[in-house]
């Protein structure tokens, strides 16, 4: 899934490089922290949804929520994950 305009989610002008991996500008990614998450009792989720706002030639990407990551740390978010962890993005999805 991809947002219509990734520029809405960035705070700065980023230079983008051709990215050889499957994630591109505007893609909505899911990051699962459950293997390192310790429940603080505050009801916080160990998972995040982020929008790709910068790409790099080594395959890394920058998202609006957690910064830099590599392809192995994330997956393409499903509609169900977006609705659960960041429902405000639903209206921004490219259909």
Phi, psi (deg, nearest 5) at residue 39: -65, 120
For residue 34, what pLDDT is reported? 72
Q: Please tell me the distance from the alpha carbon of residue 38 to that of residue 65, in angstroms, as a whole number.
A: 19
We report the CATH number of the domain holding residue 18 as: 2.30.30
Answer whether residue 61 is part of any domain.
yes
Q: Is the pLDDT of residue 36 over 80?
A: no
Burial 11-29 (b: 16+ CB within 10 A, else e): eeeeebeebeeebebbbbb
Answer whether residue 70 is part of any domain.
yes
Quick: pLDDT tens for 80-92: 999 999 999 999 9
Answer whether residue 1 is part of any domain.
no
Q: What pTM was estimated for this model as a whole?
A: 0.85
Q: Please tell me the distance from the alpha carbon of residue 34 to that of residue 59, in angstroms, as a whole number.
A: 24
Quick: pLDDT tens for 43-80: 556 789 999 999 999 989 999 999 899 999 999 999 99
Domains contained in the chain, number: 1
**Domain range holding 74?**
6-92
């Amino acid at each position: 899934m991809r947002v219509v305009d990734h520029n809405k989610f960035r705070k700065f002008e980023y230079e983008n490089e051709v990215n050889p991996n499957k994630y591109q500008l505007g893609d909505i990614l899911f990051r699962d922290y459950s293997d390192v998450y310790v429940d603080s009792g505050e009801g916080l989720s160990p998972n995040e949804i982020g929008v790709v706002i910068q790409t790099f030639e080594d395959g890394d990407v920058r998202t609006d929520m957690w910064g830099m990551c590599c392809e192995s740390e994330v997956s393409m978010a499903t509609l169900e994950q977006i609705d659960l962890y960041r429902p405000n993005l639903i209206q921004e999805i490219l259909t």
